[in-house]
Chains A and B, each alone.
Chain A
Amino acid sequence: MTSWSRSLTLLFSLVLAAALSGCNVARLTINTPLTSDSVAFITEGRTTLADVIATLGAPDSMTDAEAGTLVTYRFLDAKYSRVNFGWLLKPWSPVDPDLVFSRSGLGTDAFELLCDNNWIVTHQAFVRHRPAPPFTPYPF
């Protein structure tokens, strides 16, 4: 490798490192996120609450409803990413410049079951079920 290509590689590495500085990726997971596949075993009118608990564990809440008991599983998978492009100018700027792009999504997902008085599941549905969000700092 010539000194010229070595210098170019070093410069590229420095620019890349500077560009990546101020880069943050974070994730918040509450309980195990449920999917359509993980609740596919539930058959309305046949599956009991005991069967559901044996597979998914205890729910997060149980409330009284007119048609029986409402059982709710709550979960969250939030992603956050942030890039500070101002770091690119740091070596040449007398001030500490910031140009931050960041994006996050927050909102609890829930899976609800309606059980009759014999603890048999009569209805099931996801509440506000969103597809898994990607890590994208671009906010526009």
Chain B
Amino acid sequence: MRRVSMLLVMMMLTLNACAFSRGTLGDEIKTETVNLIKKGVTTRAEVLALLGAPDRLLQLNGRDLFQYYRYDAKVGSLLLIVANFSRVSIKSDDLFVVIAREGTVEEVIASKRTEGLEFRFWPFGD
């Protein structure tokens, strides 16, 4: 108990400041919206109506590839008198929609990597 108290006192004496920051780029890609896109059924115009213009438009062996992305960055800093620790974690959500030559969706590739993104300040370990 005494050691814990000592540790707490030491922390209070050495803790200078904490900082939490967050930045995002792009609109959120909602899972419900992505689920509305059906392979072989949904057309190019319907994809554009659901998601808007893509962030990137590429050609893939004669097919159109719409890419939508969103980035999320979380920064945690622990500023002690004797040392500063900080960690920046960035993850992205990406959605790829492959449009076949006939104009309907051929493939939908999506995942939400930002869901598990946490504020971390400890730079060591994983």
Smallest beta-carbon distance A67→chain B, Å: 10
**CA of A131 to CA of B63 in the docked complex: distance in angstroms?**
38
B19 on interface, CB distance cutoff 8 Å: no
Measured between C-beta atoms, what is the minimum distance from A107 to chain B in Å?
15
Q: Residue B113 contacts which of A26, A31, A135 (CB distance < 8 angstroms)?
A: A31
Tell me the smallest distance from the CB of B118 to a CB of chain A, in Å: 11
Instruction: Give me 30 A-to-B residue pairs in the complex whose CB atoms sit less than 8 angstroms apart, sorted by A's number.
Output: A17-B81, A20-B82, A20-B83, A24-B84, A25-B83, A25-B84, A25-B85, A25-B86, A26-B84, A26-B87, A27-B88, A27-B123, A28-B87, A29-B89, A31-B91, A31-B92, A32-B91, A53-B109, A53-B111, A57-B111, A57-B113, A58-B110, A60-B94, A62-B60, A62-B96, A62-B109, A63-B60, A68-B61, A79-B123, A119-B107
Interface size on B, residues (CB 8 A): 29
Binding site for B on A (CB under 8 A): 17, 20-21, 23-32, 49, 53, 57-64, 68-69, 79, 117, 119, 135
The docked-state distance in angstroms from the alpha carbon of A27 to that of B125 is: 11
Neighbour of A21 across the interface among B61, B82, B93, B109, CB < 8 A: B82
Q: Report if B105 contacts A (CB, 8 A).
A: no
Closest B residue to A31 using CB positions: B91
The residue that A24 contacts in the complex, of B83, B90, B93, with Cβ under 8 A, is: B83
Interface residues of B: mostly helix, strand, loop or mixed?
strand
Interface positions of B (Cβ within 8 A of A) = 58-61, 65, 67, 81-96, 107, 109-111, 113, 123-124
Q: How far is the CA of A25 from the CA of B84 in the complex (A)?
A: 6
Q: Say yes or no: A58 contacts B96, CB within 8 Å.
A: yes
Excluding A17-B82, A27-B88, A58-B111, 6 further A-B contacts by CB distance (< 8 Å) are: A25-B124, A26-B123, A27-B86, A28-B90, A29-B90, A117-B61
The CA-CA distance from A27 to B124 in the complex, in Å, is 8
A90 smallest CB distance to B (angstroms): 13
B88 with A63: CB separation less than 8 A:
no
**Within the complex, what minimum Cβ distance (angstroms) separates B83 from chain A?**
4
Q: How far is the CA of A21 from the CA of B67 in the complex (A)?
A: 46
Distance between Cα atoms of A45 and B62 in the complex (Å): 23
- Residue of B with least CB distance to A64: B60
Contact (Cβ within 8 A) A21 B81: yes
Q: For the complex, give the distance between the alpha carbons of A81 and B65 in Å.
A: 41
Residue in A26, A28, A60, A135 whose CB lies within 8 Å of B92: A60
